[in-house]
Structure 1
Amino acid sequence: MNATPPVSVIMPVLDEERHLRSAVRHILEQEYDGEMEVVIALGPSRDRTDEIAAELVREDPRVRTVPNPTGRTPAALNAAVKASRHPVVVRVDGHGMLSPDYVATAVRLLEETGAQNVGGVMHAEGENAWEEAVAAAMTSKIGVGNAAFHTGGAAGPADTVYLGVFRREALEQQGGYNVEFVRAQDWELNFRIRRAGGLIWFSPDLRVRYRPRPTVRALAKQYKDYGRWRRVVGRYHPGSLGLRYLAPPAALCALAAGTLVGVALTPLGLMVPAGYLAAITAGSLPAGRGLSPKARARIPLALATMHLSWGFGFLTSPRSLARKVIASRRPEPARG
């Protein structure tokens, strides 16, 4: 690989009027000497996203758009990959802000490690008290366990990474993203890359600023979908579920059982939900260091929303959804 190979940045966007212009600016201002293009895949937005994207295309010849009529993230990613042309493919979301040296560092790591995909830390940052609380929850171990791309850690091989910077041949070998995975498409693709013998590499030197969901309802839907589709991945790739993924559904079952026992049989059962509340309240104290009192007070709610919504999505994920995804399975590509 050349020291500064040309790079394609792909962006799936839907209802991103709030952050799209800033996200693209962080791409175009990268400290990178190689050629760069930005391909934005436009879903059927209900806000000014398309108008802002058209303005960006007019303002800079490096920016192009492609349609994504389904609105699904994996379909958008595949459309953008197909429309792009360079040997390194950088995935960015419409609400992700790349650090200035992100592309240069990622290209260097691809060369140094021989990895097929490199990625780093999803550095959540809020713009108000609620979003700051969610950001604190999303970057704490009590919120997301030991996921390095949320909490940081040492560089090294990983099961998956946030977003990702790929060698194009890795995407082509795997046939791109599986369009049936409305969520968890990154984890599923990285699983296939690893199974084919490829290396996924995590580095804390790669940082993307992420804007959390702005309401409790939006956060609950996000994490319910995460849990639902993570179980589909587990059924699609048996043996891929670790203990970390089973903690939220186990917690939800324990809370439901404890509450039922406490109401119907003995108040002792209420010790389970009381213990959970005490645990997330205590866990929110270190997570909220440096935040305003208003933001710190919201961290337990953010933690509970994430845990219980993820667990509910996992437990209620229908087998019919997994069967539909399994029926679409492609023949396995040859191992590299």
Structure 2
Amino acid sequence: MRPRTIRRDAPAVPAGSGVSFIMPVLNERDYLPRAVESTLAQEVDGPIELILALAPSTDGTTELAHRMAGADPRITLVDNPAADIPVGLNLAIRASRYPTIVRVDAHSELSPGYTMQALDTLDRTRAANVGGIMHAEGHSPFQRAAAAAYNSRIGLGGGAYHGGRQEAEAESAYLGVMRRTVLEEVGLFDETIRRGEDWELNLRIRRAGYRVMFDPELAVTYRPRENWPRLARQFLATGRWRGELVRRYGSRNSLRFFAPPALVGTFAAALVVAVLRGTRALTGAAAAIAGLVFVPVAAYATVVAAFAAARRGAGCGERAWILAVVPTMHLAWGAGFLAGLARGASDTVDTSRLDGRNTPLP
């Protein structure tokens, strides 16, 4: 039996103390201006700063970041030669000055009022971290299809930040607005975890007795990957790191993380049965019983097709991409999970942004 955790309030922060925004950046030339603009436009009672942790980009992102920093003294640059997200986050935190840390993704845009709402929730609940809705939006038919999957429980399951409506304590927080004192107490981000680092950090925050809150009034616009290979690589790497986290933390992982690998197992079993029946190595009653494995596969295909058909305002291209995107998310993530569970993920890198060839925004 686990020892009972003593509940603790995060230390209060005086009004006007300032906010530090931190943003790891790699090959984000087409998205960085909007991410920075939405961040620096945040209204805060006190000073703000934005720390960009620059990984070695190949698309002109570094040069763009230097121009932006030269034009606005609120922007500070730090080098992140390792290119790992948790390393960059820690470098940015250590280079920052203020008692509240706001994590921002270079592939995202903060909504107006985001930071003030988060500060209010932190003050009111005395939580150590608060996050909100991850609202995906896209421009091309593919990206809109991916966004539709991100925003639906069919695509990414039951995480509160994909559609929760009630303020509540949470397992983790998307991005997060965090109290520096608590971050320093629990040891910042674990630099051995390349994906899922936010979940692991929030696990340590909760183990220390602090609250992690979900606030549906907070919204961040997220831009999914621009094409199918990038999306597949992203989900494969993310799934593999979840398998690694299950190896490390076992039952502390939610049961919903096991749905995609179960789907992979079901599809694999259906493929084996189809081959055996096709070659007549499996016949009669045994073939009929084994054929029951096709029922969940058919049900899954029906749900995905219905989701695509019900997408309001979607064109034919977007609907067609949904039919490919949703299974890609699930199967790539599930296959990665099984690989991570079997062999770990210490050598796994998300390569979906490494080539630096983004699709320009309109």
Fold in common (TM above 0.5): yes
Deviation, structure 1 residue 272:
4.6
Contact kept in structure 2, 1:258 and 1:271, CA below 8 Å: no
RMSD: 1.8
Q: 1:54 aligns with which of 46, 66, 89?
A: 66
Mapping 1:83-94, distance limit 5 Å: 83-94=95-106
Larger Rg: 2
Aligned residues of 2:247 and 2:341 also touching (Cα < 8 A): no
Q: Between the two structures, name the one with larger relative contact order (CA 8 Å, sep ≥ 6).
A: 2
Q: Does 2:31 match 1:19?
A: yes
Query: Which residue of structure 2 lines up, in the alignment, with residue 331 of structure 1?
Result: none
Pair 1:313–1:23, CA change in 2 (3 A) = same
Give the number of aligned pairs.
Answer: 324
| Matches of 1:284 and 1:34, distance apart in 2 | 46
Which of these residues, 160, 168, 171, is aligned with residue 159 of structure 1? 171
Q: Which amino acid aligns with 1:307?
A: H
Q: CA deviation at 1:119?
A: 0.5
Letter in 2 for 1:101: G
Residue 351 of structure 2 is matched in structure 1 by: none
Q: Distance in 1 between matches of 2:343 and 2:332?
A: 20
CA gap of 1:292–1:152, structure 2 versus 1, over 3 A, is: farther
- Residues 320/292 of structure 1: CA separation in 2 closer, same or farther (3 Å cut): closer
Contact kept, 8 Å, 1:259 with 1:270, in 2: the verdict is no
What are the ranges of 5 or more consecutive residues in structure 2 without an aligned counterpart? 1-12, 278-286, 348-362
Pairing partner for 1:305 from 328, 334, 339: 328
Structure 1 residue corresponding to 2:224, chosen from 194, 202, 212: 212
Moved over 4 A (4+): 269-272
Provide the C-alpha distance between the structure 2 equivalents of 1:4 and 1:213, rounded to a whole number of angstroms. 37
Secondary structure of the 2:219 match is strand
How do residues 27-176 of structure 1 correspond to structure 2 at under 5 angstroms?
A: 27-176=39-188
Q: Which runs of 5+ in 1 are unaligned?
A: 325-336
Counterpart selection for 2:259 from 247, 253, 257: 247
**How far is the alpha carbon of 1:31 from its aligned partner?**
2.3
* Aligned-residue offset at 1:278: 1.7
1:132-182 Cα deviation digits (max 9, x unpaired): 000000111111111110123211100001000000011101111000101
Distance 2:344 2:298 in 1: 35
Correspondent of 1:195 among 183, 188, 207: 207
Residue equivalent to 2:302: 278
Residue number in structure 2 paired with 1:316: 339
Residue 257 of structure 1 and its aligned partner are, at CA, apart by: 0.3
Q: How far has the Cα of 1:260 moved from its partner?
A: 1.2
Deviates more, 1:266-275 or 1:192-201: 266-275
**Distance in 2 between the 1:48 and 1:232 partners?**
33
> What is the rounded CA distance, in whole Å, between the counterparts of 1:323 and 1:138 in structure 2?
26
Q: Percent identity?
A: 43
CA contact (8 A) 2:243 2:339 kept: no
Q: Show CA shifts across 1:266-299 (max 9, x none).
A: 584555533322221123334x223233212211
Q: One-letter code of the match for 1:125?
A: E
* CA 1:290–1:152: 2 relative to 1, 3 Å: farther
Corresponding residue to 1:296 among 296, 302, 319: 319
Distance 1:208 1:226 in 2: 20
